């Protein structure tokens, strides 16, 4: 295959464009994989987004893909598309270290987690594993094993987390499709900080095995440069697997359904603060401007809060208890190798009583019911994704002392892990210092397509963001 008159540079291709070029025999999966791997080798020493790069495996998979395309028989809807997997997800023939020195460095996995297996069966070419904090415990990406992951918009800043490696890879198009996970905002936070798109789907539509330590807070999802590429990825990710003990509703929508021409008839609630969050002025302005575009698309926009109080204590009760479970399985001599912040929340979790844990579950159920009633009147809820801009890398919270824990600066994300609703972050412009700002779209449970369709229509009216390292 020879690429002629490509619509864009290889480093700027979307997954849809790449597949179209494969189909027309104007681009080879080998060429594309080689280009991605070369760019990873070039920039990863600066950004630390990849903790394992699968050079040989990727090129072997790309060669097989090229043969299938030349024969006119691609094996699936993602055949040949360069893809990455988060370091928390079991992946056959690749190490899965969980960002932790307590993991086994010598044993590649013999088994794919369901999401990795589904993407592999669809023909995705795995480039490697992306960075996560230790066991995905916080909203930034650094860990004792692999060090600090950096934001391609400014290498002194964090890309967020816990799917920070995937966010950076998506921003730089180091592969077109990137798997993330989100138990408190871990897809949406790095998407906001890196200017990319990501969706936390309704819980249960993407199977999880082994189950997360954070149990039913944790969702798997796509991270890409465009909403359309995430929809393409979702069609393969949302396949049931009997190993998942928490399978929700396996009857997923048709992710390829095109969006409507407008949002005429939609009622969208806009809550810039949820009623209790302090938001930076420049972020508020960018989100306000993007919401105006939803109105131009035909939606009725009403500024209204969803009517719940801050559920931080509920979330922390469940989150800290999950961390305690991880630590209790480890030998005492391993604890010295771990992130002190993770050990701190595990210690706090050990002091939670069973009665308080069960009460938090009831509080969660009440919030879920409240939001389901709210969405009887509103098609979507819109908020900023984050109230602040990216801050210094290597810190769990901004170093100005305004916050103590990472959950305090992510108030827009974790409530919707408690409710298991679909929530997406898409870039809506730059703050006053030239850094990305994210807008969050939240739908009723099982109404993921409303989120995706609104994102696609809005995305087309907003500028595409490109970090300096990609220019």
Sign of the four-CA dihedral 22, 26, 30, 32: negative
Residues in the chain: 471
Active site residue 162: yes
Active site residue 186: yes
Measured CA to CA, the distance from residue 259 to residue 311 in angstroms comes to 33
Q: Let me know if 243 is exposed, middle or buried by CB neighbors in 10 A (0-12, 13-18, 19+).
A: middle
Say if residues 44 and 129 touch (Cβ distance below 8 Å).
Answer: no
Which residue is catalytic, options 28, 162, 192, 389?
162
Which residue is catalytic, options 28, 65, 86, 425?
86
* Lookup: tokens for 357: 């844990």
The rounded Cα 393 to chain-centroid distance in angstroms is 19
Strand, coil or helix: what is 141? coil
Q: Let me know if 416 is exposed, middle or buried by CB neighbors in 10 A (0-12, 13-18, 19+).
A: buried
Strand, coil or helix: what is 370? helix
Active site residue 2: no
Please count the other Cβ atoms lying within 10 Å of the Cβ belonging to residue 107.
Answer: 9
428: enclosing H helix or E strand: strand 423-430
Say if residues 388 and 154 touch (Cβ distance below 8 Å).
Answer: no
Sequence-separated (6 or more) residues with CB below 8 Å from residue 396: 138, 139, 140, 341, 405, 406
Say if residues 291 and 382 touch (Cβ distance below 8 Å).
Answer: yes
Say if residues 177 and 228 touch (Cβ distance below 8 Å).
Answer: no
Report in angstroms the alpha-carbon separations of 74 from 23, 56, 138, 153, 384: 9, 21, 39, 36, 40
Measured CA to CA, the distance from residue 426 to residue 260 in angstroms comes to 19
Strand, coil or helix: what is 174? coil
Crossing angle of helices 281-296/448-459, nearest 10°?
Answer: 100
* Lookup: tokens for 56: 């040989």
Which residue is catalytic, options 186, 192, 230, 271?
186
Catalytic residues: 86, 162, 186
């Amino acid at each position: 295959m020879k690429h002629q008159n490509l619509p864009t540079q290889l480093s700027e291709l979307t997954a849809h464009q790449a597949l179209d070029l494969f189909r027309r025999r104007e681009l080879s999966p080998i060429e594309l994989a080689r280009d991605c791997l070369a760019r990873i080798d070039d920039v990863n020493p600066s950004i630390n987004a990849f903790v394992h790069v699968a050079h040989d495996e990727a090129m072997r998979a790309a060669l097989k893909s090229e043969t299938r395309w030349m024969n006119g028989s691609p094996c699936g809807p993602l055949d040949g598309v360069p893809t990455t997997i988060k370091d928390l997800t079991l992946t056959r023939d690749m190490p899965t270290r969980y960002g932790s020195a307590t993991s086994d460095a010598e044993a590649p996995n013999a088994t794919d987690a369901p999401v990795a297996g589904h993407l592999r069966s669809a023909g995705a070419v795995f480039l490697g594993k992306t960075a996560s904090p230790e066991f995905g415990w916080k909203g930034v990406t650094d860990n004792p094993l692999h060090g600090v992951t950096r934001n391609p918009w400014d290498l002194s800043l964090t890309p967020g987390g816990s799917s920070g490696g995937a966010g950076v890879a998506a921003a730089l198009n180091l592969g077109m499709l990137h798997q993330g996970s989100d138990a408190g905002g871990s897809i949406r936070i790095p998407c906001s900080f890196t200017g990319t798109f990501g969706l936390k789907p309704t819980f249960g539509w993407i199977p999880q095995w082994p189950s997360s330590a954070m149990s039913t807070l944790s969702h798997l999802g796509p991270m890409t440069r465009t909403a359309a590429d995430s929809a393409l990825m979702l069609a393969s990710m949302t396949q049931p697997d009997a190993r998942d003990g928490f399978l929700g509703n396996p009857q997923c929508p048709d992710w390829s359904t095109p969006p409507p021409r407008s949002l005429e008839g939609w009622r969208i609630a806009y809550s810039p603060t949820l009623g209790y969050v302090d938001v930076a002025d420049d972020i508020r302005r960018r989100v306000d401007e993007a919401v105006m575009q939803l109105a131009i698309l035909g939606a009725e926009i009403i500024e209204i809060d969803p009517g719940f109080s801050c559920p931080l204590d509920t979330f922390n009760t469940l989150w800290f208890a999950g961390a305690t479970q991880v630590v209790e399985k480890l030998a005492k001599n391993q604890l010295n190798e771990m992130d002190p912040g993770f050990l701190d929340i595990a210690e706090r979790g050990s002091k939670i009583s069973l009665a308080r844990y069960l009460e938090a579950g009831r509080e969660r159920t009440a919030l879920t019911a409240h939001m389901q009633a709210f969405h009887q009147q509103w098609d979507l809820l819109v908020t900023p994704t984050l109230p602040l801009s990216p801050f210094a890398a290597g810190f769990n919270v901004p170093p100005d002392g305004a916050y103590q824990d990472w959950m305090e600066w992510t108030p827009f994300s974790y409530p919707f892990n408690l409710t298991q609703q679909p929530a997406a972050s898409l870039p809506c412009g730059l703050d006053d210092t030239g850094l990305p700002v994210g807008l969050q779209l939240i739908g009723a449970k099982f109404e993921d397509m409303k989120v995706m369709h609104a994102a696609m229509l809005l995305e087309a009216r907003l500028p595409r963001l490109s970090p300096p390292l990609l220019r």
